[in-house]
């Protein structure tokens, strides 16, 4: 074990199976890296199929009692978890910043507080797990029950690991399910800390958390015969694999996948508030490692140059540096693989004749920023929506600005993507703004703001960006319960 753990961060104790902290059956483990230093910080167990079996077994044992707990009592447990997370929010934030490279001040603190909020929100919803009565006639009583599905297999990514984990755990458990969750290999520490807090209030086996790799632990979980529901957040590519596994056993699946979200700026929005909004929507302070990043910027031709000048001024004033440093606005990319991938996209942009580099470029090869996976916000201007950088999800701070003159054409380009997760529209003209919002094929369109999700809104993708919704009451009911109809003959 390395001694490189900064103060007030969480030290993992193993994986959580049946209320106990354990190593993997095989004894294998792997190290978690600090992306700001390219150095290992801790070791966690490397789960395989045998560990998945043990976790599913534990979950199965816990199910019959947990599903019978009165929903409001389950809700109270979630509320206690929320308060316990709130009490340790700074430690959780520092742990997230350490392992993900997301800056503490601009990102990790917000994620940690949002995690407490998610437990609080779903805790308060427990009594909404209601069914209906159906008017089939005077001599019949027909009603529905919202019953849990059983053992939920959840797989999450590393970009907002704790928040995305909470979005599975809180609604699934509230609805009476039990869970086996596999954390992402790059960011398991914050998720284990959240599990540690949950475990203080939950019966053993209700929540089990595994650490391990996708093709090993992830595959075993997705294909486990006793897992009754799969809930996945990650890439579209792996989402398809998970959906295939679900198809084999006809189990329901929820997918929250990638995006290549458009931002549509009308000529009247050539103003500082819109520029701030674009920086936010592009998630530059998260190194744009967000599925909702507004990474295609459609600017009206009348404001194309002036808007980009303002965007350059604003973006280049952001400070890139150590994620744990309060002064840093922007941290690091998660790992070498993603860093190399982002650099390759920047290189492709630099080599393309039709594209013009507006600002940014390849990261420095020497100096303090070269010690970690730091990249620099980069913007290319191009006329086309058809090249690689405008079509593929980069998951890094590379924005493509595209000129438009005709609204219909702009919306056509915005919709010309196999993704449909988020979108942003910027204008003072509410008629135009809402017309565009309705015409854009995305699960979530924001007008004149570029914020993140809030509990209560149903969030999810159109097209290959996903299936199902999260973050809301409807999301919990649709994703984590099944409806049973009971019909009673009253004449007997």
> Which residue numbers are catalytic?
256, 291
Contact (Cβ atoms closer than 8 angstroms) between residue 389 and residue 349: yes
Min separation Cβ 89 and ligand ADP, Å: 24
Nearer to ligand ADP, 212 or 277 (CB): 212
Buried b / exposed e across 164-173, counting CB within 10 Å, b at 16+?
A: bbbbbbbbbb
Provide the sign of the torsion angle of the four alpha carbons 306, 312, 317, 318, taken in this order: positive
Residue closer to ligand ADP, measured from CB, 214 or 262: 214
- C-beta of 386: minimal distance to ligand ADP in Å? 24
Alpha-helical segments (H) within 7-48: none
Angle at 208 between CA 203 and CA 211, to 5 degrees: 155
Contact residues for ligand ADP, defined by CB under 6 A:
155-157, 182, 184-185, 213-215, 218-219, 222, 234-235, 238, 241-242
Q: Minimum CB separation from ligand ADP for residue 192, in Å? A: 14
Residue whose pair of structure tokens reads 């929507």 in the numeric block: 281
Residue nearest to ligand ADP (CB): 214
Closest approach of Cβ 341 to ligand ADP, in Å?
9
Q: Write down the residue that tokens 């001040």 correspond to.
A: 105
For ligand ADP, the closer of residues 8 and 235 by Cβ is 235
Q: Which residue has the tokens 């019978």?
A: 68
Using an 8 Å Cβ cutoff, are 429 and 400 in contact? no
Integer CA distances (angstroms), 332 to 6, 103, 264, 312, in order = 17, 8, 28, 20
Q: Any idea of the CA torsion for 46, 49, 54, 59, to the nearest 10 degrees?
A: 100
Which one, 157 or 466, has the nearer CB to ligand ADP?
157
Q: Where are the beta strands (DSSP E) in 304-447?
A: 356-359, 378-382, 398-404, 419-420, 422-426, 444-447
Minimum Å distance from CB 100 to ligand ADP?
A: 11
Pick between residue 219 and residue 295 the one whose CB is nearest to ligand ADP.
219
Work out whether strand 356-359 and strand 378-382 pair parallel, antiparallel, or are unpaired. Answer: antiparallel
The token pair at 223 is: 């294909």
Which run of H or E residues covers position 194? helix 189-199
Output 55 or 355, the one with its CB closest to ligand ADP: 55
- Least distance to ligand ADP from the beta carbon of 342, Å? 12
Residue 300 and residue 403: Cα distance in Å, rounded?
A: 6
């Amino acid at each position: 074990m390395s001694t490189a753990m900064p103060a007030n961060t969480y030290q993992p104790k193993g994986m959580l199976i049946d209320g106990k902290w354990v190593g993997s059956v095989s004894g294998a483990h792997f190290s978690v890296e600090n992306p700001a230093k390219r150095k290992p910080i801790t070791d966690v167990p490397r789960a395989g199929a045998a560990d998945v079996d043990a976790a599913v077994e534990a979950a199965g044992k816990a199910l019959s009692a947990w599903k019978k707990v009165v929903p409001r009592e389950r809700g109270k447990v979630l509320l206690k978890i929320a308060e316990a997370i709130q009490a340790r929010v700074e430690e959780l934030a520092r742990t997230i910043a350490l392992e993900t490279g997301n800056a503490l001040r601009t990102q990790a603190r917000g994620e940690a507080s949002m995690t407490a909020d998610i437990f609080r929100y779903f805790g308060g919803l427990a009594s909404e797990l209601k069914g209906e009565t159906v008017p089939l006639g005077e001599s019949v009583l027909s009603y529905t029950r919202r019953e849990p599905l059983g053992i939920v297999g959840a797989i999450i990514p590393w970009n907002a690991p704790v928040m995305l984990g909470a979005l599975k755990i809180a609604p699934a458990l509230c609805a009476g399910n039990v869970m086996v969750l596999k954390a992402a290999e790059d960011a398991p520490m914050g998720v284990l800390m959240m599990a540690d807090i949950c475990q203080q209030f939950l019966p053993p086996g209700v929540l089990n958390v595994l650490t391990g790799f996708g093709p090993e632990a992830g595959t075993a979980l997705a294909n486990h015969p006793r897992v009754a529901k799969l809930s996945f957040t990650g890439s579209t590519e792996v989402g398809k694999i998970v959906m295939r596994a679900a198809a084999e056993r006809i189990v329901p699946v929820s997918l929250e996948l990638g995006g290549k979200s458009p931002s549509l700026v009308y000529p009247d929005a050539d103003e500082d508030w819109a520029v701030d909004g674009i920086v936010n929507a592009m998630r530059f302070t998260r190194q744009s490692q967000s599925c909702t990043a507004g990474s295609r910027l459609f600017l009206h031709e009348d404001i194309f140059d002036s808007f980009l000048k303002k965007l350059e001024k604003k973006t280049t004033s952001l400070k890139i540096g150590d994620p744990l440093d309060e002064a840093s606005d922007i941290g690091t990319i998660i790992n070498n693989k993603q860093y190399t991938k982002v650099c390759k996209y920047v290189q492709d942009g630099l080599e393309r004749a039709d594209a013009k580099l507006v600002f940014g470029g390849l990261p420095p090869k020497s100096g303090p920023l070269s010690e970690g996976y730091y990249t620099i916000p980069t913007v290319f201007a191009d006329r086309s929506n058809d090249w690689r950088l405008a079509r593929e999800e980069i998951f890094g701070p590379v924005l493509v600005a595209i000129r438009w003159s005709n609204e219909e054409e702009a919306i056509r380009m915005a919709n010309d993507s196999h993704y449909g997760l988020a979108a942003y529209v910027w204008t003072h003209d509410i008629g135009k703004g809402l017309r565009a919002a309705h015409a854009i094929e995305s699960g979530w369109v924001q007008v004149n703001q570029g914020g993140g999700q809030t509990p209560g809104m149903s969030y999810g993708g159109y097209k290959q960006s996903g299936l199902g919704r999260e973050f809301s009451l409807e999301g919990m009911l649709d994703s984590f319960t099944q409806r049973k109809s009971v019909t009673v003959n009253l004449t007997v």
